[in-house]
Amino acid sequence: MGAVKDVLRRPLGHFTERTLAGLALVLGAGVGFGLVLVLVRVQWSPLYDIDHGVAQWLNARVSPIGPLVTVLNAITDLGGRAVIVWLVTVAVVGLLIRRQGRLAVFVIVTGAGALILDPALKTLVDRLRPEVATPIGSYAGQSFPSGHALGSMVAYGALLLVFLPAMAPRWRKPAMVAVGVVVFLIGFTRIALGVHFLSDVIGAWLLGAAWLGVTAYAFRLWRVERGRPAAPLTEGLEPEAAHEVAPAPDEEKLLPHARAGIAEIIVGWVLVFGALYAFGTFVGYHAKGTFLATWDEVVPTWFAARQTPALNDLSWWWSKFGDTHAILLVSMIFCPLVLAIWRRWRPVLFVALTMFGELTLFLASAAAVDRPRPPVENLDGPMPTSSFPSGHIAATLCLWVAIAVIVFPRTDRWWRWLFVVSAVVMPVGVAVSRMYRGMHHPTDFMGAIMLTGLWIGLLYWVLRPNEDVYEGNQPTIESEDVDTLDDELAKAGRAD
């Protein structure tokens, strides 16, 4: 009996020691934050001098260097609410699809805590932002604590703990270092851009570490109470979920002949560019007297004669479906969902290369053809690129056609036809809006169709994005087993 007790006592003692050490660190972070909070609140003179001195010193050195300011703004966006909310939302939906409801709840609770603590403490402390000689950063609200520093610490830290089990042991420490570097750089940019004091960032880091530690150790204690083995946090929150949280656990090789595929794509890109350049040059400069030239003259004039304020507003909003932000948003939602459901990178690679190729082909052919805009009022004003082909239309076509190509063969549910309809309605709507607004000729629309057909056809032939389906790959959530997609997500979100 004594031997049994010793066997049980040993791992329990190790867990208790690790928990007490971790708890001490969490309490230390909490006490440190409380101390910083008090010193900021009472405006302790030495801290006041350091904060203002660092802010002025950094501003004097950073503000004159334009490229450095651009880089700092790009890094600071990684801690912005838009990026953090996207990361958390994608992670939660992916975990629910993979039936990891407990980990999804951990991410939600941890993220929600940061969203609550940041504005509450800002209101409580009511500290003004730094006043620097040359303002170079945008901000809103009070200064303490830094929302970017707090959000990045909590969000990136929580996601690291969740997805650590999916990494090989040799990559776990580098991943921790990488996350630490990203969090540090985000905090540094807030000071360098002159929108936060040093104590705002340090206080946010301490608060974020304390809150992340509390939720992580609460999760570990919950595991022990349910008889699960206590694992160090260096192995992640749920080591048993390694297979489920891995992005593509069953994919051995992305492409069977990667080098040949790369060569085919490069050669194909050149040929597609050549076709676009030939067609664009013809319709832009050598099509006089043909029906294409007549069409390019009549259609913009017909739209210009029928413009009204209401239609102007409608066309503006509809054309927004084809701008960079909308295309990027849809792509960043669709690709993680495909990865979570079908556990394959190849469809994601297909969409990514489709959009990258569209962008490069559009920019190259627009610069080479250099076609003027239609000779009517251009409602969007001067544009940095030429008229042929239409970037808005081409991007919308490529995105929604690629989505339909991926989704349609992967399910037999009725809603797959919605993606086919979207692949027609979305680009046609954008095309009509762009021509209505006097920004493109009809043959620019034809150029976008040519770009989409040739480029997606090439990628489909090289990448075979649905090969896993033909080999028998089934989605993580079986759509034929339930009535609606909502029911699928609800079922996936329930605890095991």
User: Residue ranges of the domains in the chain?
Assistant: 2-245, 258-493
pLDDT exceeds 90 at position 123: no
Mean pLDDT of the chain: 84
What is the average pLDDT across 151-174?
Answer: 89
Asked if 492 and 99 count as a contact pair (C-beta separation under 8 A), the reply is: yes
Q: How confident is the model at residue 368 (pLDDT cuts 50, 70, 90)?
A: very high
Tokens of 372: 């003027």
Q: Which residues of 61-94 are buried (b: 16+ CB within 10 A; e: fewer)?
A: ebbeeeeebeebeebbebbeeebbeebbebbbbb
pLDDT of residue 5: 45
Nearest alpha-carbon partner for 144 in 47, 70, 73, 27:
47
Nearest alpha-carbon partner for 332 in 110, 100, 93, 96:
93
The DSSP-derived string for 190-247 is HHHTTSS-HHHHHHHHHHHHHHHHHHHHHHHHHHHHTTPPP--GGG-S-GGGHHHHSS
pLDDT exceeds 90 at position 137: no
pLDDT of residue 219: 83
- Structure confidence by residue, pLDDT tens digits, 319-338: 888 888 899 989 999 999 98
pLDDT of residue 486: 46
pLDDT of residue 19: 55
pLDDT of residue 20: 58
Nearest alpha-carbon partner for 268 in 181, 332, 360:
360
Q: Tell me whether the omega of the peptide bond preceding residue 11 falls within 30 degrees of 0, making it cis.
A: no
pLDDT exceeds 60 at position 9: no
Threshold 0.85, pTM exceeds: no
